[in-house]
Structure 1
Amino acid sequence: MIPLHPVATTDPATLTWVTPAAARLRRGVVRRAPAALQTLLEDGTLSRAEVVGEGVRTTLATGSWREAGPRVRTALHACLAADGWETDDGTPAGEGPEVAVGPGPDAELLRTATEVLAGEVAPYAATHGGAIDIVGVRDGVVEVTLRGACSGCPAAAVTLHARFEGLLRRRWPALVAVRQVSPRRPGRGCPRSSRAAR
């Protein structure tokens, strides 16, 4: 089963479902989704779904997460590995930019880094209005970009190295480094948040 962890946002009607499976999807507002999620958008359960760096952000049209949460979780589990996602510009999932990864062990490092990021680090960054995206893995080096409140935040270095790199190194001792790089697609990040630093 695909790991899926709900994280609250500042809007009580909105949850971000953090999952490593979001890495295969093109970011943006969902215009079309596989059947189970599309049904929730069409029947008025959800007013909006958006693929963000760390997962899928969903907003309820009416009702409460206590009532709708299990249905949304079930729909996401059914849809995350499926084709048929279209976001903002109508580009199907998998046709957008891909994470750069070298051959051999780098592919396994990417999988491990994605799991570590989704497990503890991404939800922590999201609580502060920020996000960390893996953009490449090459020769044991994991390249990331910072978005939202993490971009330019002095405490982001602590989150990036003490939390993410530290946890990743425990699972992957041969890790060379985690390096912050500039975003490869300008204008695709989140707007800056005024939330307090970590």
Structure 2
Amino acid sequence: MFIETETTPNPATLKFLPGEEVMAAGTREFRDEEEAAASPLASALFDLGDVTGVFFGRDFISVTAAQGTDWSALKPQVVALLLDHFITAAPLFNPGSAAGIVVPGEDEDVGDDPADADVVAQIRELIETRVRPAVANDGGDIVYKGFREGVVYLAMQGACSGCPSSTATLKHGIESLLKHYVPEVIEVRAA
């Protein structure tokens, strides 16, 4: 087995590609050791000491290191843990602890106005078909959180969370795209 690595726009995060499915559906982000307790793999990654975030995507795992961490020392340790996990076919989650998985269309409880149903459907379609694949290429995900009074609320996850260019991505990339196709969109904000 070979695990590829890719850089991301976030210099603190590397994307690891095991060449097989990580999550069959949805994504899962771990921002601290307490959240990571749900997954033996995430927990082991945090146990390395310099890891501050782990993100499971469909076919990749993004790992974020603490500021000032030397990736040349941490990367081989991460690869070794990932190899061990996938070679032994260990479970990704502890029994009964898969809560927190984000599945598009099932992860929100935003109370959108029913009068905006057509607009919300257009926004969700654009996010799913145009935005999420691009963000996944960078080792992260984006989650729709709501649409109110012309403002779309989105949450960045994985490598995109805390990335220096995430604000530019939201404001210049995603906002421009949504405004172009959905005239009711006035602004995009981080949720």
TM-score range, shorter chain: 0.3 to 0.5
TM-score w.r.t. structure 2 length? 0.47
TM-score w.r.t. structure 1 length? 0.46
Relative to its length, the structure with more strand (as a share) is 1
Query: Looking at CA atoms only, which structure, 1 or 2, has the larger radius of gyration?
Result: 2
Higher RCO structure (Cα 8 Å, ≥6 apart): 2
